[in-house]
Amino acid sequence: MRHALEQGNVMRAAAWLLLGVFSGLVLDLCAKQLLQSYSLIQFVVVRSSITVALMLFIAPRYGGLTALKSKEIGWHILRAVMAIGAMFGFFYGLANMPLVNALTLGYTAPLLVTALSAIFLGDKVGWRRWSAVIIGFFGVLVMLRPGRSELTLAEISVLIAAFCYATQAITTRRLSLTESTMSLAFYAVVGPLLAGIVLFDPARHWVAPDSIGWVLFIAAGASSIGAWVGFVNGYRAVSPASLAPLEYVALVGGAIAGYLIWDEVPDAWVLSGAAIIVASGIFVVYRGESREIEKD
């Protein structure tokens, strides 16, 4: 009976996580299509505005507006700055490189989280996980092709975005004991929105969206909420080691979508690098969970 209940919990958690993965992929597809016709600044402002509006709409289910109160404003400001780097960096790269390439480089974030947690949180990272981190970054070099003279600005932007996202994850661990889930998500969206408003110049950045454009903007904002709800509910019920491999389904979906929509075909270097990064990321999560079990 207990085994059946545990299996049911895993299945429900997996369903939530797949919702998050699917929603995140929908966001990336909408973003890539929109960024062909609209500026990055306009995309960030419109998408973030829709996301904030939807967050306020569902806020009563997550503690209401009182859940946004915080005594850790300084930390939220840091997270907002990192969110600005993550959003602008990733979507700039997404607009200027194949979808699967951007997703693969973005998935270096779990490796960076492991390295940063050892440096800033004092987590004990054994030689196995350090080896996996190093091998994962070797996968990045493979993907970017040995012997190339320089990185493109798009590649640099996505790697910076991965670092910012990893830093957000570290600060989330610092705040998770005192802050609500809603506040952690809300201020991370408000940061890029405010940055976009400051940078926004209607004469340069605004193009009136047509009906298809508005559909894509709304889908991008709604899928952001879907990704947030899916990941929160998925990882709340089941250990990361059990579900983390499902996140890499987005790479497969991204490769298929890139081929069908934009005729993007990943070459052998990209596929080889992606395989190394994915394998390293899964091992890091699995090994980290094994260490927690051993402690217990």
CA distance 54 to 40: 21
Which 3-state string (H, E, C) describes 139-202? Answer: HHHHHCCCCCCCCCHHHHHHHHHHHHHHHHHHHHHHHCCCCCHHHHHHHHHHHHHHHHHHHCCH
Tokens of 101: 């390439």
CA distance 263 to 74: 45
Domain spans, the chain: 2-295
Q: Tens digits of per-residue pLDDT, 123-169?
A: 677 778 788 888 888 888 888 876 666 788 999 999 999 999 888 87
pTM of the model: 0.85
CA distance 122 to 275: 29
Give me the percent of the chain exceeding a pLDDT of 70.
87
For the chain, state the CA radius of gyration.
Answer: 19
CA angle 98, 101, 102 (to 5 degrees): 90
